[in-house]
Amino acid sequence: MPAAIEQATKVLKENNFKITKQRRAMIEFLVGTATHKFVEVTSIDDFMRKTFPNMSHNTIYRNISEFANLGIVERQVQGDRASVKFQCDFQHEHHHHFICSNCGKVIELKDCPLSPEITSQLTGCEVTGHLFQIYGLCPQCVNLMNN
């Protein structure tokens, strides 16, 4: 079993979730398609409904939501489009991304931009989370655009 699938199933088990054939199929799909880029939730829904025709949309979306809450996937919403990406690093969940606007490739950023200069402006506030993403073109897409 690939390490990524093993890590995800371990997280599910540790949180008292059963490893059903549907959950395993969803994890395998995510590992195969959403490791280095965000994938629209509708494409996950399409795959799951083709693989398990009697599976409801609600069950699929509930599982995606549970995966996000457990840190198995990372969520992103742009306008009315929701997408997810398989977790980059289960040991260091807090990280940020560069996302190529052309091909969708995701590059993990090691540093966090949330600085003391920013948090010092939030006197009396309790920060419970934040998102930081940079959009642009990856080197391959820059080369394609310039040729």
* Sequence ranges of the binding site for Zn(2+): 100, 103, 138, 141
From first CA to last CA, the distance across the chain in angstroms is: 41
CB atoms within 10 A of CB 64: 21
Annotated binding site for Fe cation: 94, 130
The angle, 0 to 180 degrees and rounded to 10, between the axes of the packed helices 21-33 and 57-70 is 70
Annotated binding site: 94, 100, 103, 130, 138, 141
Question: What letter would DSSP give residue 37?
Answer: B
Q: Are 88 and 95 in contact (CB under 8 A)?
A: yes
Q: Are 114 and 96 in contact (CB under 8 A)?
A: no
